[in-house]
Homo-oligomer: A and B are copies of this chain.
Amino acid sequence: MKIADYKEIKAEPVDFEETKGVKVRWLISDKDKAPNFAMRMFEVAPEGYSPLHTHKWEHEVFILEGEGVVTDGKKECKIKKGTVVYVPPEEKHQFKNTGSDTLRFLCLIPIKNSNK
């Protein structure tokens, strides 16, 4: 069993194109021999955002702290602590911090897509 405070797990800068102020902590991954899915924590600084993109795998997201929006490039929906977001495969999405504090959320993906 692995038991850790999330703060013990390093926050690494995310340097995808069209990304601003985003860090990721790989809380549970293939390094833990997790067989099916990986749990990551994203931290988005104020005015930061993830890329507006699409891919073959899904996201399962839970917002822990902060305020922001999720958008498909057309419509924006507000997200805050306690919001659940399911992004199906091949659906365009972007997360933006619209608040004055860090936007922190869990985002899980299939392990087979966790090196992409």
Which residues from chain A sit less than 8 Å from chain B, CB to CB?
Answer: 1-7, 9, 27-28, 32-37, 39, 58, 60, 62, 64, 70, 72, 77, 79, 82-89, 91, 93, 106, 108, 110
Q: Which residues of chain B are near A5, meaning CB under 8 Å?
A: 82-84
- Whether A79 lies near B3 (C-beta < 8 A) is yes
Choose from B3, B7, B70, B82 the contact partner of A1 (Cβ within 8 Å).
B70
- Whether B3 lies near A83 (C-beta < 8 A) is yes
Number of this chain's copies in the assembly equals 2
- Main SS of chain A's interface residues? strand
- Whether A39 lies near B1 (C-beta < 8 A) is no
User: Cα distance A35–B64 when bound, in Å?
Assistant: 24
Choose from B28, B72, B82 the contact partner of A6 (Cβ within 8 Å).
B82
Chain B residue nearest to A75 in the complex (CB): B1
A-B contact pairs, 6 of them (CB 8 A): A1-B85, A3-B85, A5-B82, A6-B83, A28-B60, A62-B106
